[in-house]
Amino acid sequence: MKIAIIGTGYVGLTTAVVLSYLNHDVAAVDKDESKLTLLHEGKSPIHEPGIQNLLDEVWHTIRFTPSVAEVVPEAELILIAVGTPPKKSGEADTRHVEQAAREVAQVCLPDRHYTLVVKSTVPIGTNQRVVEVVEDVFSARGIRGNISVASNPEFLQEGLALQGAFYPDRIVVGANSDEAIDTLRRLYQPILEQTFDPPSEFPRPPSYHLPPMMTTDPNSAEMIKYAANTFLALKISFINEIAGLCEEVDADVTEVARGIGLDARIGQQFLRAGLGWGGSCYPKDTAALLGVAAQSGYKMPITEAARTVNFRQRERIVEKLRGTLGTLKGKSIGILGLAFKPNTDDVREAPALDIIRELLAEGAIVRAHDPIAIPNAQAALPGKDDTIPELQFTEDVYELSYDADALVLVTEWDFYHKLELRRLAKQMKTPILIDGRNVYSPEEARTAGFHYIGVGRI
């Protein structure tokens, strides 16, 4: 199928590469020249496990272009995967989605049928708005036009994007037209029926079952996306709230999570207590959902509380440092991990950034490490162009521990699981380890010489 994808961010590029691997004829449009330059050279602008190798394989089949007019007229299906950044009010800004729809409607041919699919995460009602935008352009052009608009929310997890794209739990389609549903069913057929040969890096999981394609109305599809993210966010906040109480009553939250997760109705996933959620999705989407609710005058106290608990986790870590070190002024603190989660260089809304800002505000000296996210963190924090001596980044984690007053593990990179704890502890001025993700066994860390403090652990 001939497809045009508008936007080559995490969602757009992953989708482009996967659909091309599935033998669809893909063109990808982006206005960002720096991204296009990289893509024209065959380089992925995003860091995502496996994406570069897969891009190498399919690159010659994908057309990367800045021009909607060049590829949309010939396409059967157009996917909009542009950003929906938060407005000041928290609501998602759909300007780029509407603009993309407008540009599509301006260039599509009057005698052809197109399916226009919104993949970006958008407020409920956006699908209808896109229909109106398209109709306005058609009437300005004086044509009837034939575009079916559908919503197809994306459930991609950074760090697991390709795995999730080849082996999704479900595909959700919100559409009022049977034609659009049929087109999307044809698009996803190789995934729905698992008829493709898996790429060597992404073998089909042995227990994987064929995914359902759920069809529904557009508003419900848009709501499914927000509700799914908000539910996962509050599951994490719930276990973090329990973790805080565990600290008060000498219980171990990792045991509690295991015990409740064995109940099939609850499940084991997303019950890892720690520094909570960051990234480009949960903070933005929970705020956007509250924005949608506020417009209707509807209160969502559970979602509000999930946010409160989440951001409190960051403050609690700094409180733990104060609790052990007294004042933080002049103290040397090592930060392990800057990315909002492992296997990505994304630092958007990363807990590490807030913690570092707070430590600097209290006069601490911060040395920070991350396997790949240092450049992005440098751009988001003082320390690159406006270098400040109180904040240094290092690629050598052992150097960072030298003479440090405390270490704080913020991101649970595999790399940190394998550190020589004894060596780290020995080099420090005071061997305090605040394990913000409960990566280490308290016993092991204490045996290595650390004063160990986890989240909700004894």
Interface with ligand UGA (CB under 6 A): 121, 154-158, 229, 232, 236, 270-272, 274, 276-279, 281-282, 285, 340-341
Neighbours of 293 (CB within 10 A): 14
Which residues, in sequence order, are bridge partners of residue 29? 6, 65
**CA 443 – CA 450 distance, rounded (Å):** 10
β-bridge partners, 117: 79, 150
Per-residue tokens: 108 = 């599509």
| Choice between 279 and 431, CB closer to ligand UGA | 279
CA quadruple 136, 141, 142, 148: dihedral positive or negative?
negative
Q: How far is the CB of 279 from ligand UGA (least distance, A)?
A: 4
Nearer to ligand UGA, 133 or 232 (CB): 232
CB 365 within 8 A of CB 327: no
Nearer to ligand UGA, 144 or 258 (CB): 258
Q: How far is the CB of 30 from ligand UGA (least distance, A)?
A: 18
Q: Given the complex with ligand UGA, which of 46 and 68 has the nearer CB atom?
A: 46
Q: Do the Cβ atoms of 92 and 286 come closer than 8 Å? A: no
Taking the least distance from each CB to ligand UGA, the nearer of 137 and 156 is 156
Nearest to 343 by CA among 426, 269, 439, 411: 411
Q: Which amino acid is at 16?
A: A
Q: Which of 197, 145, 150, 196 is nearest to 173 (CA)?
A: 150
Catalytic residue among 281, 373, 421, 433: 281
Q: Which is nearer to ligand UGA, 103 or 158 (CB)?
A: 158
Classify 224 as helix, strand or coil.
Answer: helix
**Cross-strand partners of 150:** 117, 175
Q: How far is the CB of 143 from ligand UGA (least distance, A)?
A: 35
- DSSP secondary structure letter of residue 42: T
Q: Which residues make Cβ contacts (< 8 Å) with residue 252, sequence separation at least 6?
A: 246, 456, 457, 458
**Side-chain half-sphere of 385: how many Cα atoms within 13 Å?**
3
Catalytic residue flag (residue 246): no
Take residue 253 and report the two structure tokens written for it.
């939250």
Q: Which residues are catalytic?
A: 281
